Structure 1
């Protein structure tokens, strides 16, 4: 049997561009999913083709954000290990014959052995962050699972230095197989709004505090609503000028509405549901808040920074890598409404900080977190994995 080592030639024989198969649990509104869309959009015209495989299913409206011609497959995985799903995935990969499989987060990591057994030559796994099941990465079972499946993975990608240290120091994956690639944002789509001098000086009336994210326990919007209620109590004279906008949907929506009513702030809290034009809504905010209990490199914070907003966020995960204390925003302990209230109050008491820190955040997003830099880093990684093996005669001797 002859083995073709020239991995630059697509395995499926379709054209000359390698095929990347992205595997994730579900394609729906979320940070990881936004990054996937941006990655596909950015590289689809630069030498790669893409296909998306959802272990569960997908949201049709979100699927339409992908470029035309990018297929999406759903395997309808039931809860649990799902051996039947793995068999369907094996058959699908044998049919698609991708050149690289790119899995995302722990739920898709178990697909790496299937990819290897189906003959996929390039295998990447990306870690985007943790959830309520393992807020700080301390659960032994999940560390063991990552370590056990790591031999099937050629490159582990982390979106933050925090996650890279977790993989190398606590999971004990060799550093040479861990690659750090920051998430990126379209800084042309998200731009700083032009605010009047009256607004910059704090005389412009309503102060809008906003957040974007799925309404789930790990995002902890409940702490933000409690902090907002304290803020209205503390600045009772300006009570009518303070508003909170929560963009997103999810299982916590009804409990958050009930909490706002219980704290007597329902008249000033707007829960919008999902939004198709987040950039426009961000342009109407004065301060962005993210009270999460755990995070990787959240896309919503990058979008807020690119929009010229100061960010008040929890000091968890990769957030300290984004928010520079006193320069682009404020970091506070997670789950503490009082300290979150203090952080927000600073932008009410010193309104000039909004424009100063917002402008600094915009510069930081443009310089370090562009979608172009992210796409370029992933493209380089794919090419590295698909490069033909070096011939022994061309390897230079060590002096």
Structure 2
């Protein structure tokens, strides 16, 4: 598997790939991860039984991409994988294309996002991107489609529909599970969090497209009506300094958290005000944990959430809808509890990591068999 960043980098894609890789190994499929190296991290290590190779990627950006490609190709030659699975249409996909062209390695690619910030449109609008998109289209044996919106973009970009495979993201529904009320109260006490107040949580990158500044903009209005409400913001990113400067009473920035599980179990409401998404892992983790989700209707969210049935869907960049949804749930324990239970039921039924891993294992076997014929 090729991915731009991997654990201990914190993020939805990293969390998903780590879970999938370990479960694939448990099913007898050997997995090697090729990712960009980071200062202070080992060039090679085993994580959860998975071999992780961190390849040189010195700055600037162009040099990092070239160095990654230069290191990935001989390593793929040495490892001789049955299938190369690249994540995103950036340097990992380019490395997979080279592996296919030179080493005849079958390739699977997963685009992560749709829209102007998504994989297809970013390449279409980038110098040389049309050629790279053509190479991926012609060489990929299969593409993993994590949302209907991404699938539609791939079809519009002339990707053969027979090579598109709907495999939605999934999470560990046993690990991300709600607590009983007394257990939740005890957990809050142990974490230094107030027991009897509503807690809203955001977990993810602190990036512009996540629109966390919108969340911080409406928060004073929330506190005006509900002065005890708390907002926990988990994650790091290039917007961190600007967002910290917008903090008001009731807001806690907790930085990069290796294990978000206890924070999700301690919270009541999950909010994701993004302008663009693929199929958010943070959203699925929160829903599996029994939190009532407030999510913008972008990417795969409308496929997961039915408005007012297992969550609240709002329009992106609509601060009034965001504030109204937050007030609605903060002021109604019954609605929050009802939506949280329904949200968990939805994820358990359709978005468990085991379902995604089984589908991936079947796809790898099919692609490998096709290549050997």
Alignment TM-score, normalising by the size of structure 2: 0.87
Aligned residue in 2 for 1:6 = none
Q: Which runs of 5+ in 2 are unaligned?
A: 186-194
CA distance in 2, matches of 1:59, 1:290: 32
| Deviant stretches of 4+, over 6 Å | none
User: Please, which of 26, 29, 32 is the counterpart of residue 13 of structure 2?
Assistant: 32
Q: Name the larger-Rg structure.
A: 1
Alignment of 1:1-40 (within 5 A): 22-27=1-6, 28-40=9-21
Match of 1:258 in 2: 245
Residues 56 and 276 (structure 1), Cα distance of their counterparts in 2 relative to 1, 3 Å cut: closer
Per the alignment, do residues 136 and 97 of structure 1 end up closer, same or farther by CA in structure 2, a change over 3 Å counting? closer
**Equivalent-residue separation in structure 2 for 1:131 and 1:295 (angstroms):** 8
Matched-pair contact (CA < 8 Å) for 1:305–1:358: yes
Distance 1:246 1:59, change over 3 A: farther
Cα pair distance change 1:121/1:58, threshold 3 Å: farther
The answer to whether 1:246 aligns with 2:237 is no
Counterpart secondary structure, 1:70:
strand
Partner of 2:362: 380
> Which of 173, 178, 184 does residue 187 from structure 1 map onto?
173
Question: How far is 1:336 from its partner?
Answer: 2.2
Q: Is contact 2:120-2:154 (8 Å) kept? A: no
The verdict on how the C-alpha distance between 1:44 and 1:328 changes in structure 2, with shifts beyond 3 A counting, is same
Q: 1:152 to 1:55 in 2, by over 3 A?
A: farther
**What secondary structure does 1:103 align onto?**
strand
Q: Give the aligned partner of residue 69 of structure 2.
A: 86
1:271 aligns with 2:253: yes
Corresponding residue number in structure 1 for 2:89: 106
Q: CA deviation at 1:130?
A: 4.8
CA contact (8 A) 1:309 1:358 kept: yes
Q: Is the 8 A contact 1:130 1:136 kept in 2?
A: yes
Q: 1:77, 1:186 → 2: CA distance?
A: 35
Partner of 2:303: helix, strand, or coil? Answer: helix
How many residues were matched structurally?
353
Q: By how many angstroms is 1:276 displaced?
A: 2.6
Is the CA contact 1:26–1:57 (under 8 Å) kept in the aligned structure 2?
no
Provide closer, same or farther for how the CA distance between residues 388 and 103 of structure 1 changes in structure 2, counting only shifts above 3 A. closer
User: How high is the TM-score relative to the length of structure 1?
Assistant: 0.82
The structure-2 alpha-carbon separation of the partners of 1:182 and 1:64, relative to structure 1 and needing over 3 Å to count, comes to: farther
- TM-superposition CA deviations, 1:211-269 (whole Å, max 9, x none): 10011112121111112222123x1xx31x11100011122111111012xxxx2x310
The 1:146–1:139 alpha-carbon spacing in structure 2 relative to 1, beyond 3 Å, is closer
